[in-house]
Amino acid sequence: MLTDVNYNPNLPVPNHIAVIMDGNGRWAQERGLKRTDGHLEGLKALKRVVIATHKMDVKVLTAYAFSTENWKRPLSEVNYLMGLPKVLNDEILPDLIENNVQVRMSGNFDKVPLNTKKYIQNAIDRTKDNTGLILNIAFNYGSRDEITKAVQAIATEVSKGDLKVKDISEQTISDELYTAQLGEYADPDLLIRSSGEVRLSNYLLWQLAYSEMLFTETKWPDFDEKVLQECVGEFQRRNRRFGAIDTK
Catalytic residue numbers read: 22, 70
Q: Estimate the share of the chain in helix, then strand, then coil, as percent rounded to the nearest 5.
A: 50, 15, 35
d(CA 101, CA 243): 34
d(CA 50, CA 95): 10
x/- mask, ligand FPP, residues 181-200, rule CB under 6 A, reads: --------------x-----
> What distance lies between CA 213 and its chain's CA centroid?
13
Give the nearest distance from C-beta 112 to ligand FPP in angstroms: 11
- Residue in 2, 5, 15, 26 binding ligand FPP, rule: CB under 6 A: 26
Tell me the one-letter amino acid at 120: I
Nearer to ligand FPP, 22 or 187 (CB): 22
The span of 15-23, 143-151, 156-164, 166-174 binding ligand FPP (CB under 6 A) equals 15-23
d(CA 9, CA 82): 37
Give which of 48, 15, 46 is closest to 225, Cα–Cα: 48
d(CA 132, CA 130): 6
Please report whether residue 52 would count as binding ligand FPP according to CB under 6 A.
no
Q: Is residue 241 marked as binding?
A: no
Give the nearest distance from C-beta 172 to ligand FPP in angstroms: 30
Secondary structure (3-state) at 60 = strand
Give the nearest distance from C-beta 186 to ligand FPP in angstroms: 20
Size of the site for ligand FPP (CB under 6 A): 19
Sign of CA dihedral 174, 110, 70, 113: positive
- Residue in 42, 107, 142, 188 binding ligand FPP, rule: CB under 6 A: 42
Give which of 169, 155, 164, 120 is closest to 141, Cα–Cα: 120
Length of the chain: 248
Q: Is residue 22 marked as binding?
A: yes
- Residue in 16, 39, 59, 104 binding ligand FPP, rule: CB under 6 A: 39
Give the nearest distance from C-beta 15 to ligand FPP in angstroms: 21
Tell me the one-letter amino acid at 53: T
- Residue in 17, 19, 58, 65 binding ligand FPP, rule: CB under 6 A: 65
Contact 205, 227 (CB under 8 A): no
Nearer to ligand FPP, 7 or 223 (CB): 223
Give the nearest distance from C-beta 239 to ligand FPP in angstroms: 31
> What distance lies between CA 61 and its chain's CA centroid?
6
Binding residues: 22-27, 35, 39, 67-69, 71, 73, 193, 199-201, 212
Applying CB under 6 A, the residues found at the interface with ligand FPP are: 21-26, 39, 42-43, 46, 65, 70, 81, 84-85, 88, 137, 195, 220
Binding residues for Mg(2+): 22, 212
